[in-house]
Structure 1
Amino acid sequence: MDENVFATLLQTSISQWRQKGKKGVWLKLSLEFASLVKPAVKILVVQEKSGVFKGTGVWKLPTGSVEEGEDICIAAIREVKEETGIDTEFVEVLAFRQSHMSFFSKSDLMFVCMLKPTSFEIEKQDSEIEAAKWMPIEEYANQPFVKNRKSFEYISKICIERKDNKYVGFTALSTAKATSATSSYLYSHHHEE
């Protein structure tokens, strides 16, 4: 079967399985159909209407700013929902980058987060987003823009390694106490017992 036909049929099946309340499905393929596995692993990408990426045709990961008093893990979920309409659960911080003399001549921290989708029907934000879609991760990584910029190339390699379980990120461990109204998160390799 053609990869694109398989991907379309798979998406239809996933929608039907989800409506029936199924939480997981095993796909069993004989070796000669191994090439069909690739479309099953996709990432959510967007094209922006403004900024440096406007009109470039570059597909990028959804991005945004953390609001005052907002945790990184909550901000990632909110920004993806705002830009694409996709509901997600936070999984982990995969990497972070520090840059200096950025916004308002201050230092800036950018966190790359992995989220797990709990919905798949895209409803893009019309004001900021030109287009949004699910894309095979290798196709994202092979964009000339990504390959020609070290930080983007590193991020795409980390995403692919994480997909193949060759990389572990930082999960968010809540440090809140029952007696305290404030909560915070420790981002760590250690999973909660």
Structure 2
Amino acid sequence: MYLLGPSMSVATMKMTAALVDGSRWSGVYWQHFMKDNPKTSWTKDCSRLQGLSRGKSFDDSFPLKSSNNTRLNSSTMPLLGGGCISKKRGLCVVFPDISSPSVKVENLDSCDDEYDGVIVNSESLPSSANAFASALMASLSNWKLQGKKGVWLKIPSNQADLVPIAIQEGFDYHHAEAGYVMLTHWIPDEPCLLPASPSHQIGVAGFVINDKREVLVVKEKCPCSCSGVWKMPTGYINKSEDIFSGAIREVKEETGVNTIFMEMVAFRHAHLVAFEKSDLLFVCMLKPLSFEITLDEKELQAAKWMPLHEFLGQPFYEEDHMSKKVIDICIASYEDHYKGFIAHQLTSKLDGRLSYLYYDGSH
């Protein structure tokens, strides 16, 4: 019997089953909550199942893995098609004993990666928790015999009830995005060599200055350390977006001003910025193609063209050495006293794709 014990967190329990009229059914994967008790009881014992919802009873021809201390004194409730299941509060996943020669369990659909590892096909995961638990155990045994190392298991959000089963089998969280969570497992009894989860967020800043030596500046609405300060438009790049494209987009979204990329003049690297992640901020010189401002009222208090000397005269920049240095570099670039990095599109033989390499265009 496959049991999810009391070590599970409340968050994991919530992911495992939704509260629907006090209980949730998924084949013989069952979780019961007491409506009048905010706490959920998770037990290592589970009463014996005497039948499946399909009407097939468990007997010697369909062996089960079960704990020796199975209790039979709990009240039962009928299953559709015959048999019964304990009404004891808890969560149980029951599956055939895969070590029995009379039971055939299919492995998870997967493919090998380039590093003696395995990538599980997330689009063909078993729909029931019991089938997944059986297939996962069989697959892990098979992969270990084959000498496989790392396993990548992507679970869609609509199958989140499979997550605690994988965790119970030794998987751990790697990263999550909208629609899925990625789990990993290192099979060998040696230090794990799988790459860590993403550690950086990437931001961009656009320094836009016109022929009148006026700088395009904005005031943020957020109550951050630069609240009330006139600053360059900034933001985060989107997935699969180039750095210079992100800078152009952010300026357009916040101010309505169209620009073109000239060069990247500096970048700042900081750590423990948001949720203990590191942060890279790339500063780009942009040339304005339009001048009328359309304010993004959701993010900004105001935006305008400000004379350069007024921009530099703000007390914030006199006290913040990092920001002051960045602006000095931008001015030097504008006055042709400094050469930044230009984006050059090249193809790499490593992946055969076009990508941008940033370097001094004079070389």
Does the 8 Å contact 1:42/1:137 carry over to 2? Answer: yes
Q: How far has the Cα of 1:181 moved from its partner?
A: 8.4
Structure-2 separation of matches of 1:161 and 1:184: 28
Runs of 4+ in 1 over 4 A off after TM superposition: none
Higher mean alpha-carbon deviation, 119-128 vs 158-167, is at: 158-167
Q: How far has the Cα of 1:147 moved from its partner?
A: 1.1
Does the 8 Å contact 1:41/1:136 carry over to 2? Answer: yes
- Number of residue pairs aligned between Structure 1 and Structure 2: 152
Aligned partner of 1:9 in structure 2 is none
Aligned partner of 2:218 in structure 1 is 46
Structure-2 separation of matches of 1:57 and 1:66: 24
In structure 2, what residue type is equivalent to 1:168? K
Structure-1 separation of matches of 2:297 and 2:329: 30
Structure-2 separation of matches of 1:117 and 1:153: 22
Q: Which has the higher helix share?
A: 1
Query: Of the candidates 157, 174, 188, which is equivalent to residue 328 of structure 2?
Result: 157
Structure 1 residues not aligned, in runs of 5+: 1-37
In structure 1, what residue type is equivalent to 2:220? E
Does the 8 Å contact 1:137/1:160 carry over to 2? Answer: no
Aligned partner of 1:24 in structure 2 is none
Structure-1 separation of matches of 2:302 and 2:331: 23
Structure 2 residues not aligned, in runs of 5+: 1-209
In structure 2, what residue type is equivalent to 1:118? L
Tell me: CA distance 1:39–1:187, structure 2 relative to 1, closer, same or farther (3 Å).
Answer: closer
Asked which structure has the greater CA Rg, the reply is 2
In structure 2, what residue type is equivalent to 1:80? V
Q: How far has the Cα of 1:182 moved from its partner?
A: 4.1
Higher mean alpha-carbon deviation, 127-136 vs 183-192, is at: 183-192
Q: Secondary structure at the match of 1:97?
A: strand
In structure 2, what residue type is equivalent to 1:41? R
Tell me: CA distance 1:66–1:115, structure 2 relative to 1, closer, same or farther (3 Å).
Answer: same
Tell me: CA distance 1:157–1:89, structure 2 relative to 1, closer, same or farther (3 Å).
Answer: same
Residues 89-128 of structure 1: CA deviation (Å, up to 9, x unaligned) = 1111110000011122111100111111111110010100
Q: Quick one: percent identity of the two aligned structures? A: 46
Q: Secondary structure at the match of 1:160?
A: helix
Query: Of the candidates 286, 303, 318, which is equivalent to residue 132 of structure 1?
Result: 303
Aligned partner of 1:60 in structure 2 is 231
Structure-1 separation of matches of 2:344 and 2:311: 30
1:103 matched to 2:274? yes
Q: Secondary structure at the match of 1:102?
A: strand
In structure 2, what residue type is equivalent to 1:110? L
In structure 2, what residue type is equivalent to 1:126? E
Aligned partner of 2:291 in structure 1 is 120
Structure-2 separation of matches of 1:51 and 1:118: 31
Structure-2 separation of matches of 1:60 and 1:184: 30
Query: Within 5 A, what are the aligned runs for 1:166-177?
Result: 166-176=337-347
Query: Of the candidates 228, 240, 264, which is equivalent to residue 93 of structure 1?
Result: 264
Q: How far has the Cα of 1:57 moved from its partner?
A: 2.8
Q: How far has the Cα of 1:155 moved from its partner?
A: 1.0
